[in-house]
Structures are given as structure tokens and as C-alpha cells.
Structure 1
């Protein structure tokens, strides 16, 4: 394997969180700061977040949106709603999901550097968050992320496709 940063190779997305761990406001701010520094098309930075920390008003709404869709996320210490603008480009190209993905990846790597775990997911009640946070077109509540710590002793070996399978020339439809 080609050597890459351990921050990347050791990062994993738990489906279980320590319900006793509490993320701090400062830690949440660090994650959002990491997102702020992500690259974006034409430096538009067309992404927004609704962070929630267990016990606060945003978290309560976000948790309701998760319940029944991604119940594994309910013990996370924090939840973050990720929003993009549907057609942000002046050139008619929709970079929103791509740019938002870059910002979320920055948060995931920052969380790993901080000894935390994050997991993005797309199964939640979009109508509920749109109504509660007054999100309307062209803005899209696209994904959410959990943040917290995995229970002690919980680890996962990550499996990845071999490098050759990533090359289009080797792709078979």
C-alpha cells in the first residue's frame, strides 16, 4: 500500500456511539472551522450547517429528524445538518454537493485528529428539518453527520477496493 496520512487511513465511521460522552462547544467550533477551510468552486463556499450538541435546541430537532430513519445515530453526542445551494454556480453547473462533500470531509478528518469520530448519512426527515430550520429552495438539507466517541473497545478494520478497481480503464459495467 502507498503510504498515506494515518489521519486518513485510520478514520472510520462507527454505527455506535458512547452515550456518556459529551462534545464541547469548542470542539464543535473546531469542526466547523475545518469545514470553513475546504476548497470550493470559484471560492463560493456555498455550504451551511446546523450544529446540535446533545441537550440544546438544535440537537433536539435534529434527533427527531433522525428517529425512525437512522436510529443508530441517536446516541451521538452531536449532530450536524449539512446544507448546500442547489444551483450556486454563475456558470450553470451544480457544484453544491461536491463542495459540501469537501467541507464535510474536512470535518471528518479534523474529528479524527481530535480523537473523535464522525459519520455522514443521508437517511433523515428532510421535511422536518426544512420546516423547523426554515430551509427552502434553492437550499437543500443534503446530509447529516454524527459526531462523538465510539464505545471503548469498539474498532473496525476498514476494507477498501484494490487501487486498480478505482481506475476507469479497469471498470466493467
Structure 2
């Protein structure tokens, strides 16, 4: 289901078509080559001092026994729809440089890596929905993740259901027109 952003200025179609849907096809696995392409896109994201602080843990619904633990760590409002995605990606940032100094840009850089991953997903015909609604300590314990990783998000990744197959509970949200704040609210100078 295409849902291009109604932009004020022409932008690249990959950016225009990227959106965070919730209607994942539970019967369609993501091919390993496509998952590899997502990792490669993230790998080439920019980072301060080339530290590449992002850390990803992919949990595959059909293969990983920790799947249920990741779902249980999500906010109740995310659990139902996210459980249909074939991949849940735990997104974290390593908070210190290799020599031990704090990396205050780690979260920013990890966001850049996730944007690269999300755009590649769009190019591959996949959908990514990032969530901040999760319990980080529950997730850290369930997956035995290091203490120096700041858990930032969980991303559901998979193929979108065709429009006619979207469950009734998601139809209104999935079909609603996309919207954004006016540029003037964030682009302060010069006016454009």
C-alpha cells in the first residue's frame, strides 16, 4: 500500500514513501539478503570520529526463543500489531568510545544509522516502524545486553499487508492521511 508524503517541495521518492505503518504481513518472512542490505546501509551511516556506536540485535519471530520476551517488553499499545512483524530490531548505542571516554553523540549517530536502515528498507519494499514504547531494563535483562548500551528503540520490520487485508482495528490509522508540522516550526533561518 503506497502512502507517499504530501510534500511542499519535491524530495527523493524513497524519502517520500518511507512511513511507519503497523499492518505487517505475518506470513511473509524477510529474506536474509534483504536483512543483510539493511545492516550494510546502517554500517555506512556517518558517525562522530567514525566510532559507529550503533548496536543492533535482530530477533526473528520464527527462529528466536527470545521473541516473546521482546514483545512482552513493549508497551501494550504496541504489542498486538508489532507481534505480526517477522523481525524486531533492538536499537542501542554504545555510550563510550573505545578508549573509555563518554560518547555524547552516540544516540545521534545511532539515529543516523536507523535512518539509513529505514531508507534501505523502503528501497527493498519493506516497512520499518520504530517504537520508543518499551521497558528498557526488562529488555536488557531478557536479552542479556551490556550495561554500556543505551537502549533507544525497538523497530518492527517486515512486509506490509495489502490494503484489503489490513485488520479492522488498524484500518483508520493505516489509511489516514500523513501529516507533518509546518517547516517554519523547525527551520528557523533563513525562511524558505
Normalised TM-score (structure 2): 0.78
State the distance in 2 between where 1:93 and 1:19 align.
38
1:101 aligned residue (80, 99, 111): 111
* Cross-structure match for 1:62: 70
SS at match of 1:123: coil
2:160 aligned residue (137, 150, 159): 150
Residues 68-98 of structure 1, C-alpha deviations (whole Å, 9 max, x = no match): 3521211111110011023449775511110
8 Å contact from structure 1 (residues 35, 103) kept in 2: yes
Deviating 4+ runs (over 4 angstroms) = 89-93
Normalised TM-score (structure 1): 0.86
- RMSD between aligned residues: 2.3
Of the structure 1 ranges 50-59 and 155-164, higher mean CA displacement relative to structure 2 is found in: 155-164
* Cross-structure match for 1:51: 58
8 Å contact from structure 1 (residues 87, 95) kept in 2: no
Residues 1:136 and 1:69: Cα distance change in structure 2 (over 3 Å): farther
State the distance in 1 between where 2:84 and 2:67 align.
11
Does residue 160 (structure 1) correspond to residue 180 (structure 2)? The answer is: yes
